[in-house]
Amino acid sequence: MKVGDLIVYIFAVALIMVGLLGMYAMGTQGGDKSVVVELDGQEVYSCRVYKGMAPVEFRVDAGNGQYNIVLITYEEVKIKEANCPDQVCVKSGPIRHAGQAIVCLPHRVVVKITAGHEETPDVDDIAS
């Protein structure tokens, strides 16, 4: 192994740290979480996640009979079923923390957990 290779590996470790720190930073912005479903970059559904909520099942219609069924519970969010060719979104499993996202490239669908709930401000936000 040469000197440059070592630099490459150090750079790789640094990148992994940056990624993990970034995920952590995005996950600790406030306590409340909400789930946003986007199709083609446009928000099609969003909901707040709170303790004791009833599980929500949302069906994303990406046109041409393409669909993804998103299952949202307090503990986790996952894509339960989809008819995309690669099934990556189903296989990638559930996400739990803010900043995480499930992406279905063939259907151009993103399901992400965001910190807070800026999209639907409630009375408390105005009062404070």
Stretch 38-67 residues interacting with other proteins (CB under 8 A): 38, 41
Number of other residues whose CB lies within 10 A of the CB of residue 116: 15
Interface with other proteins (CB under 8 A), residue total: 33
Q: Which stretch binds other proteins (CB under 8 A): 46-54, 57-65, 76-84, 103-111?
A: 103-111
Strands of 101-104's sheet, edge to edge? 42-49, 33-39, 109-115, 101-104
Q: Which stretch binds other proteins (CB under 8 A): 4-12, 54-62, 73-81, 118-126?
A: 4-12
Q: Where are the beta strands (DSSP E) in the chain?
A: 33-39, 42-49, 56-61, 67-72, 77-82, 101-104, 109-115
Applying CB under 8 A, among 2, 54, 55, 124 the residue interacting with other proteins is 2
Binding status of residue 116 toward other proteins by CB under 8 A: no
Binding status of residue 22 toward other proteins by CB under 8 A: yes
